[in-house]
Structure 1
């Protein structure tokens, strides 16, 4: 009898070891059968890779916690994807270039370090019914999704939503801090963004945004770029400081701008080519600009009543014949520290003072670089160096 028990115990140990090996591996998936081989693993440790398979439908049954990553790339036949029990992923979920994928299902997902969906021209929706509450990086780029539901994270590092031509809105009203990049660009015309609880952000890029809510934002630790948006008004009523450059360019409908509590700008102030912005009185309390003051357009008034320190130069040019340079002249005596000073009214073609390669300056302005550069990730390289370069130039 003892020998039978010993044999059973030995068999159990062998089975346990086999199970442990199956639940701890680098798994290369070619079919549903490969995924079914780990369906008994509530905890799976390793990376699951699905690359250039012929599978049309895949279901990740059984796995609740993934200590690792799941990466699906280049599966041209894949139309349906499901993770029915998956709750937590310690590293990455990455879906890239699965061009036939119509639906992806994450009914239980609550936590993942990095979530990326890139180049999915057939994908229609993205939803997290169990509420995605813990995430470090969120990226949705080049898809046809029409909505994103269930984002409930209080903090995040990078938040990127770009080139989703049918996506009309994103709401993340639980979010209070974005510790890295906030990049919203080239989604559906009139795109609406609700980040109404966010209090701090490192860097911001908004392009082709229609409406937004950042009513609680009080601190920006890096650069801000507002480029080619369709909103009529832009206001950050609680914002007190920006540690980097502020670029406001090519917003064709922008007629009202308001930063009533902003006192310090750690880089350059660049406001260019906003044709409906006739009066610039947004900076009632602004005292310090560490970079250059560069304002061009068709404005009749520019008011900076508290400004007492500009470390770089000044360039103010407008096509309006109603503008007077009298107030700008007052800044020459002790306020403008840089050697460059230009103030002109009734100019046919107002030009940015940011050098475009004419002997020792920047090769390209922050605004124009933003508009023409095909890689949004490079925008921050440009904006992040503008302030320091202007101090050197001027």
Structure 2
């Protein structure tokens, strides 16, 4: 008799309670469990050490507001803004009524007092703007993806070499997520040994009651066009590949395989709502899964997960929620040879803003490694270009 039939038989005759409790129960484990709340470093309590003047030039995606917040925390002063979409400018004016609205990109580019220009304009247009910014003697911070073609990437690298300017890309799922920052600290401290692999699960939601697309407003036309948004692997995958490089410490990497599909959006035939890729670096392996299928009941735009496997333990980061447990994000779980720990990371400080402002002043690359940022772009562009387009039967 198999196990299921046996359990049904003894249950029907009332013998289940007579069996030893451990006979069929799952093993619950006996490791030491610790819950803690991570605290900010004392030195981050001080005011920013530096200040710069910056401007916004293009605001097609609402990620620009997070970018502005990061640089302001670092001591940046926003002095001007330009945007081509009237609806985006209207929202911006409400948020920042005291900031001058420029009449053109050139007005900002030709202002010698502006040290940094940031942009979240249509993805395919970001690199061309960044090249102009650097040639005007300013540093640049782009929303992700910061580059959408290999031709753009070559020109960006050439311009960096010629101008010695900074071309930053806001990979916010690492740089602006507190639990991801804490995971980096633990990895660098050797908490799980040598990192072997990262796995990133990155679901997204197309229509939100609130969030990036303006409180449930329809997505713009460029959102559906891969020539403009870069494709799913290049676009939202850029976050994840940046994390793969950062946590594994890989300085060289290749795309082993990649695939894309449009499963449920036939009204937008070129849109990609699913994609994944496998990566191999010189210091670790990676897997990334991306999709646009987050259900409404989650309560946030996506249940982003990061898994870091090490030789002496592993880390899981539940970035934006803890499903069916609590809506709070920034949840980190770490298991090593001695204990299992849950760390609430919501109280720690985000270092990117102050570090990036300091980099502009000091001509350093502390906030973001320039080569790593561009390598992440190169990898996702390559993955997108070579991805197998899969057609699923209904």
TM-score class, shorter: under 0.3
Larger Rg: 1
Structure 1 or 2: more helix by fraction: 2
Provide TM-score, normalisation by structure 2: 0.24
- Normalising to structure 1: TM-score of the pair? 0.24
Which protein, 1 or 2, shows the higher relative CO under an 8 Å CA cutoff with sep ≥ 6?
2
